[in-house]
Structure 1
């Protein structure tokens, strides 16, 4: 089970190099702005992006113990975070309040 993390915590952890923010908003939603330094993954590609493939493709985040903070549509964020955790990642959270909360944190979105 994954837990929520505040936008402030996600930004602080990311800025200190302790976490990776994953922007898993659908492309149509990303027109709102970007999250600097975030790994962008379309929600439909989460399992592929976070899993090794037979062709030798590596996951977008190779360290399964790395802290991951998922930003997506509010109702999808916990589900996407669970999908990532189900692939063996041990420190996955979703950002409480989604992109709106992140964009209100100074310097997090443009």
Structure 2
């Protein structure tokens, strides 16, 4: 039995600071029907159904801005889905995956967008 991979929450303020310093990639994984709420400047948009192709290290469609498995990734999604999405990404071998506590609205508030 393989160990359960956990992903920790990150506050919206901390996420914004990490992103602004260039230390983190923000990944907007809200379903398309929810993205009408607005965009997150600088975020990489990935449809939840494309998770494996976008993050599998062996995938030819992997997100190009992710340099290696230690890249800090901050996931924004529907609040109830964000922890599970972050855990799925971590299970692919990424070591620094978080989900933004409070999701889209909290991050938009933290950045003043």
Name the count of aligned residue pairs. Answer: 105
Q: 1:44 aligns with which of 45, 49, 57?
A: 49
**1:15-60 C-alpha deviation (Å, 9 max, x unpaired):** 000000000000111111111111110011111111123xxx1521
- In the TM superposition, residue 62 of structure 1 has moved relative to its aligned partner by 3.6
Q: CA RMSD in A?
A: 1.1
Alignment of 1:1-110 (within 5 A): 1-51=6-56, 52-53=58-59, 57-60=60-63, 61-107=66-112, 109=113
Structure 2 length normalisation: TM-score? 0.88
Give how far 1:73 is off: 0.1
What stretches of structure 1 move > 3 A for 4+ residues in a row? none
Q: Secondary structure at the match of 1:90?
A: coil
CA contact (8 A) 2:76 2:104 kept: yes
TM-score (norm 1): 0.90
Distance in 2 (alpha carbons) for counterparts of 1:39 and 1:106: 16
SS of residue paired to 1:22: strand
User: In 1, Cα distance between the equivalents of 2:61 and 2:35?
Assistant: 24
| Structure 1 portions without partners, runs of 5+ | none
